[in-house]
Structures are given as structure tokens and as C-alpha cells.
Chains A and B, each alone.
Chain A
Amino acid sequence: MRKRRSRTTFLLLLAASAASALFMPALPSFQTASAAVFIPVSHPSHAIGSWAARQLDADPPLDAVSPAAPREVRAVYEENLVLRQQLILYAKRTQELINLNRDREKLGTALRPRCDPASVVGVITGDGEVLQVAGATEATQDMAVLHVAGSEAGIVGRVLSTAPAGQARVRLISDPDSRISAQFVRWDETAQQPVGFDTEPFIVSGVGNGLCEISRHRAEDLTSSGVAVGTWAVLADAEWSELLQGVRLAQVTEIVPVPDEAGFVRVLLDPSVNFAQLNEVMLLTRP
């Protein structure tokens, strides 16, 4: 009887565990709380273990000025070599941080304080074009996502879904399901700022492979207003934050006639930044 009960419990638990392993996400808050139960063992063992590891790994402590234990010239020389290498490493890291901050400043004084960075941890392509980001603890669905990788900031897409522990997925503007209202801009030399062309706003949709398009546009409007290859399309969409209106989307790379529709053209656009190569994106957490 006991054996049967034990076997039944085992099979039930096994089935539940298998189902949970396959279909349930991790439960970070529960797991963090459960781990706390083991602190009486884990904490001292970790302290002892890490102390032991430090003793095995660490270089002997520096005591460069002790008259009681004068060191050999060779030891000082070797220490200098180590310190020089560390100096180069830290200089490199400092430069990386300076570059990172300089890139983030491209967002401008209005956007920068309202954005939080998140790391790109994966690119999911196939049916759609989606970025997997981590460290997006304040991300919510449909939140705007920008990049600072090009010559200036641009739109990456919107948050598609979020998960615990700061994980989120971002639908790229090149995703075939992405639709954004936009307009063309040109650089005004006298005003030293971009100004919109005299054209109606249009819909930019994704076509995959990191590209976008305007599937159908009146050719006459484009030629009369001077839109050509190299012209930038910027965000002009009431569904997006007011702060983002005018932020770069993509650049015209090709204008081709629409077959069987005289007077209409298809405009291909390139965001000019390879989204798959981004290391960091900025989330507009405080629109």
C-alpha cells in the first residue's frame, strides 16, 4: 500500500515537474525567497569558499615601502610590468565608458534624462524581427526604444513583451508587422535644423532583413518636393510620444515604380544601423 502511494506521488510529481520545466517560466521572486531558507549553510560556506579562492588566486599583497622586507629589483620590475598592464586596461575601460556616454548624449537634453539603457542579449529573426534585451526593469508593453549607434539617435522599435528580471523583447521597425507614420525631412542650412518636406505623412512598414519601405507613394509628390535617395524619414506618429516626433527612422535608398500602377512608386528605406549589431538600446521609460 505504501509502495503504491509512494509510486503514485512520484509519478504525479514527475509529471508536474516535467510540465513546469517545459511550459512555465522561472519564478525569480519565489526562487529568491526559497534560497533565503538555506542562508545558514550557503552564507558561511560562500564566505569560506571565496576566502579560500582569494588565497589561492590573489597575488601577494603589495608592500612597496617596507624597509623590513626590501625586495629584489627583479620583483619591483615585474610589479611595474603588472601595474603598466593594469593602467592600459583601465585606460581602455575609461575610454569605453567615455564613448558610451558620448553616444548616449546623442539623445539630446530632452530625451536623455527620460531614457534608461538596456543591453541587447539576442536577436530573434525568422517570422519577425525582434531584439531580446536585458536590464529593462522598467519596460512596459509598447514602450518606445531608441538607439544611439549612428551619427545621431534613431528609432529601434517598440517593446513587444516583458518578462521578469528585466527581460524584454523589442519589435524592430524592420519587422513586417511594424507600421509607423512618418514624414521626410531635409537639412535647412540657414536654420541649421531639419525641416519637413511638403508631403503628406505616410506609413513606413518593415520588410525584414533590417529594411523598411513605403509600399506606395505618389511619384509626383516626391519629385516636386525634392525627395531623393539619401533623404531621411522621421517619426510623425501621434501614437508615439511627443518627444520622439522628428527622431530619425530610416534613409531612402531606392525609389522604384510600382508595377501596373502608373504614377506610384515604392520607396525602400534603410535605418542605416544594423539592429542585429547593437549592444545597447535606450528605453523611453519616462515619456
Chain B
Amino acid sequence: MRFLPHIFLTYLAVGLHLGLGALLSVGSAVAHLPWIAAAFIAMTVPPASAPLAALIVGLLVDCVGTGAIGVNAVGYALAGLVVSRMRTTRFEGWLIALSAGAVIVGANLWLNGLFRADGKSLLGALGTILLTILLGAALSWPLWKVRRRFLINDSRM
């Protein structure tokens, strides 16, 4: 039950990503709405669980996407590791963590594009990073305001 808000947020983010993905994209660059949710979840669950939570969100994105399964999962997991190390109680810190994670997610998509035909080009990956950061910045304030409702302390684990 403690994870219910996180599950709901993930479902909402992946559903919106599916529904609005085409509208939140420019060329091959796509704003990764689920990453914003994953970063937020990684900031609110205990640090040890943060990368796993981000990986699960990434895996869900892969499961509803068109590319190979695991591509986003790896990117989200690595970005989740970074976010879990950068845990902060300051809003600016959250924005930096979110952006750093978006860079890792985009870089992972670009690296994947070097090996697979369905991957992203460098321009697509850079656009994805930029769009994700912009969308993240726009959504950050309301998310930050409801952060306390999502917080899970280590002691409760």
C-alpha cells in the first residue's frame, strides 16, 4: 500500500506517454514523461530501492514501445542510480538530478542507436534530452509540492 501512489504515478506517466507521445515530440526527439515520474519516484523511495524503481518504470516504457525491450530500462536504471546518489531536499537539487538523469537516458538511447537500426541518432538523443528537461522543469513545481505524500523513509522498509 505504501507504493500505491508510486504505482499510480507510473501508470499515469506511461499512459500519458503513450497518449501524448506524438504531441510531445519534435522529429525523432521525444520528451520522456515517464523519466520525470521515475526520477520523482527515485527521489522519494529509499536510496537502495531507487535504481530498481527507475528500472521498472523503464521496463514498462519498453513493454509498451516499439523498440527492443530493455533499452529504456537500462537508461532509466543508470539514471536512477545517479538520482539516488543526488538525493536532495532542495528544489534546485531536484532539477539538477532530473536533468542529469535525462542526459543519461538520452545518451543511452544514442548509444543504443549505434548498435541498432531502430535507435536514436545523436540529434534525436540531444532533442530528447532537451525536451525531457523542459517538460521536467514545467512539471517539477507541482510534483515537488506533493512530494511529502510520496516519501517513504528507510525505517518503514
Contact = CB atoms under 8 A, between A and B. Distances in A.
Given A26-B66, A42-B18, A43-B19, A14 B77 contact: yes
Nearest to A7: B48
Contacts of B157: 2
Contact of B69 (A20, A38, A46): A20
A13 B115 contact: no
A6 B48 contact: yes
Contact of A21 (B11, B56, B68): B68
Nearest to A46: B19
A35 B70 contact: no
Contacts of A85: none
Interface size class, chain A: 35 or more
Interface in A1-48: 2-3, 6-7, 9-10, 13-14, 16-22, 24-28, 30-31, 34-35, 37-47
B19 A45 contact: yes
B71 A21 contact: yes
A50 B23 contact: yes
B60 to A, nearest CB: 8
Interface in A226-283: none
Given A13-B52, A27-B69, A40-B15, 5 more contacts: A20-B70, A21-B69, A30-B63, A31-B65, A34-B63
A248 to B, nearest CB: 31
A176 B14 CA distance: 47
Nearest to B119: A21
B110 to A, nearest CB: 13
25 contacts: A2-B157, A7-B48, A9-B52, A13-B52, A14-B51, A14-B74, A17-B77, A18-B70, A18-B74, A20-B68, A21-B70, A21-B71, A21-B112, A22-B68, A31-B63, A34-B63, A35-B64, A38-B18, A41-B14, A41-B19, A42-B15, A44-B19, A46-B19, A47-B19, A49-B23
